[in-house]
Amino acid sequence: MVEEDFKKRLIDIFKGNLQLQTAYLCQVRYERESGPSVALCLRGTTPDQKLVGRVAEIFSSMFSQQTHLDIIFIDASQESQLSEVCRPFYCK
């Protein structure tokens, strides 16, 4: 399954990131959008733009250009809410 392969490739790069604590891949809905989107929600000490670039490279190599991925850095409060509806696929 493509989603599982994507997660495995992400986990490989996440293992080397000392600041990243948890990662969630989830469906999100935005008020002004008609359908759901996919978001990678990351919890760490600080947003890491280098990590975003590496995730984007992996994503674009696996999915079509019409598919997009939102990358969102979340805080403890947001993670608490998210964990009620979604399980992390990566935990340090």
Count how many domains the chain has.
1
Whole-prediction pTM: 0.90
Residue 83: φ, ψ to 5°: -65, -15
What's the CATH code of the domain at 47?
3.30.70
For residue range 47-65, what is the model confidence (pLDDT) as tens digits? 889 999 999 999 999 998 8
Cα–Cα distance between 14 and 51 in angstroms, integer?
8
List of E strands, the chain: 20-28, 37-44, 70-74, 90-91
Look up the domain containing 7 and give its range. 2-91
For residue range 6-32, what is the model confidence (pLDDT) as tens digits? 999 999 999 989 899 999 999 988 888
